[in-house]
Chain A
Amino acid sequence: MILLTIFLMGLGSYAMRAIFILALSGKTFPPLALRALEYVAPAVMAALVMTMLVSPGGDPVPALREVAGLGTAAVVALLTRNHIYVLITAMGVYWGLPYLI
């Protein structure tokens, strides 16, 4: 039964990822859909970042070092557009901050 559940879940996972890609493959997108599409990536990635930091039932505010690390990431990404710099500086802040305070 568990195997069947996992198998159905596999179908479900695939279906959710495939539905628009396959269903809209030959369709022309209405202008509104194309404009809405532009905001999917910013909205979903922003929401994802937050869910990675906080867990349900826990403290709804991320820790200071996490906020500082993400803030650094955002600023460095904006200034340099180089993700290696982003990684180094943000992780530096995240790991270093507890020693400074």
Chain B
Amino acid sequence: MAPLRSFWKPEAGYSNDMSTSRLTLADRRRRGVLDALVLVLPAIPFALVFGLTVRESGVAIWLGWSSSPIMFSGAAQITLITLIGEGASLAAAATAALVVGARHLFYSFSMAPAMQHQPGWFRWCAPYMLIDQVFALCVGKRDLPPADFRHYYLAAGLTFWSFWMTFTALGLFVGPVIPVGLDISFATPVLFMGLLVTAIDSWQKAVVAVFAMFITLVLLDLPSRSGLLLAVILGIALGLLLERVRQK
């Protein structure tokens, strides 16, 4: 089992023994909100850009914004609305957006074992919120007791959801008010890098991560970010292969 770590700091008094957790469910919710807020800040420019994308596309603004609650998938929404605005056929725009969103299949797979211990209603609700940031935060919490995991997940997910609904709407009217020179968006890859490093607990995983980065760069020009999908699949295959090597 991977050691348990919180987003901020190692959990006080928390060993690998689940029963020693001193955090209450309310603590979990608070942490979920706080952790999500740290990732919300750098995502603000992205949300505002989506509003601008809708305006420039010529799609009715209420219609463009409706994709926020209906899809709740930033990159796929931008792809869809941009392509519609450029006059692509709806089928072509939808296909591209689906390919962009296909990485969520990996999140679903990765979360499936932890979800087995959850009540049915949560298994149906949780996927709606399973965006990049929620996955990045919660994948390291998979080994928590089910109730702790659920409260953390819901708190982080709902925080991000509220933000996305509000700021994509705001973006329709104010445009990108955050000065581009400030460049806070870079904090998202930085935090993801931090979460990535703390999730690595074997040399095989480290090799897989570096390899996946490299393949993503090599396959950058494949359409609709499909290079990312291939990089992940090849990365997983490499990881399994490396385990074999060690066993021999």
- Choose among A5, A32, A42, A52 the residue that contacts B208 (Cβ–Cβ < 8 A): A42
- Choose among B70, B113, B116, B194 the residue that contacts A7 (Cβ–Cβ < 8 A): B70
Complex Cα spacing A26 to B115, Å:
10
- Separation in Å of the B189 CB from the closest CB of chain A? 4
Whether the pair A84, B8 counts as a contact (CB closer than 8 A) is yes
CB contact under 8 A between A6 and B183, given known A39-B240, A90-B190: no
- Choose among A32, A56, A66 the residue that contacts B220 (Cβ–Cβ < 8 A): A56
Complex Cα spacing A45 to B183, Å:
21
Closest chain B residue, CB of each to CB of A16: B104
CB contact under 8 A between A83 and B191, given known A3-B66, A39-B235: yes
Interface bits B126-163 vs A (CB < 8 Å: 1, else 0): 11101010001001000000000000000000000000
Residues of chain B lying within 8 A (CB to CB) of residue A44? 103, 106-107, 110, 212, 228, 232
Interface of chain B: mostly helix, strand, loop or mixed = helix
Interface bits B93-124 vs A (CB < 8 Å: 1, else 0): 11001100111111111111101100000011
CB contact under 8 A between A14 and B236, given known A21-B112, A52-B189: no
Whether the pair B10, A56 counts as a contact (CB closer than 8 A) is no
Does B192 make an interface contact (CB < 8 A)? Answer: yes
- Separation in Å of the B2 CB from the closest CB of chain A? 8
CB contact under 8 A between A47 and B216, given known A21-B115, A86-B190: yes
Interface bits B27-47 vs A (CB < 8 Å: 1, else 0): 000000000001000000000
Which of A18, A24, A44, A73 has the most chain B CB atoms closer than 10 A to its own CB? A44
Which of A17, A34, A74 has the most chain B CB atoms closer than 10 A to its own CB? A17
- Separation in Å of the A68 CB from the closest CB of chain B? 11
Does A100 make an interface contact (CB < 8 A)? Answer: no
Complex Cα spacing A91 to B90, Å:
40
Whether the pair B112, A43 counts as a contact (CB closer than 8 A) is no
Does B171 make an interface contact (CB < 8 A)? Answer: no
Interface bits B212-223 vs A (CB < 8 Å: 1, else 0): 110111101111
CB contact under 8 A between A16 and B8, given known A25-B115, A43-B232, A87-B187: no
Residues of A within 8 A of B (CB): 1-3, 5-10, 12-14, 16-22, 24-26, 29, 32, 34-54, 56-57, 60-61, 66, 69-70, 73-74, 76-78, 81-84, 86-87, 90-91, 94-95
7 A–B contacts, CB within 8 A, in A order? A5-B93, A6-B63, A16-B102, A37-B109, A49-B192, A84-B8, A86-B190
Given A16-B105, A18-B124, A19-B105, 17 extra CB contacts under 8 A: A9-B70, A9-B98, A14-B127, A16-B104, A17-B107, A24-B113, A40-B109, A43-B212, A43-B239, A44-B103, A44-B110, A45-B209, A47-B216, A61-B217, A73-B197, A77-B196, A83-B198
| 5 A-B pairs with least C-beta separation | A43-B235, A39-B239, A18-B127, A10-B70, A17-B127
Residues of B within 8 A of A (CB): 5, 7-10, 38, 59-60, 63, 66-67, 70-73, 76, 80, 84, 90, 93-94, 97-98, 101-113, 115-116, 123-124, 126-128, 130, 132, 136, 139, 183, 186-200, 204-206, 208-213, 215-218, 220-223, 225, 228, 231-232, 235-236, 238-240, 243
